[in-house]
Amino acid sequence: MNYQINYHAPDPMAYIALRVEGGMSEKSQQAAEIGLKNALFTVCIYDQDMLIGLGRIIGDGGTVFQIVDVVVKPSYQGKGLGKVIMTELMTYLDQHTYAGSYVSLIADGPADKLYAQFGFTYTYPYSQGMFKMYN
């Protein structure tokens, strides 16, 4: 199939719907609008006008970067789109990081195998990820 890739923030409602369909937590429309416009880099994959894949990089643009929201619509999984998203994200990082820049991500489920292909390793036992979610 012929998919389109673009590097602009998606529609907030399409973003929220894709996250939920992909098994990720739901975000409010207000949070999505603010967060999407403040990303350092966003890659979206579309089939016609439908958002089917997404990945973003957030951070301070120098010392810390975090890969977030890597998600592919379930009906499109298994077609290599996650790898396409990660390749785009890594290309951005290769061009915009500095000696000592720290790039992190949270690997859910079997996605750790995808991230390992791009050189990511577990922080454990040296450190462990922590989080707090506001309701």
Give the separation between CA 75 and CA 55, rounded to whole angstroms. Answer: 17
The answer to whether residues 62 and 39 touch, using CB atoms and an 8 Å cutoff, is no
Tens of pLDDT along the chain (135 residues) come to: 689 999 999 999 999 999 999 999 999 999 999 999 999 999 999 999 999 999 999 999 999 999 999 999 999 999 999 999 999 999 999 999 999 999 999 988 788 889 999 999 998 888 888 888 888
Burial of residue 55 (number of CB atoms within 10 Å: 0-12, 13-18, 19+):
buried
For the chain, helix, strand, coil in percent to 5 are: 35, 25, 45
pLDDT digits over 40-50, tens only? 999 999 999 99
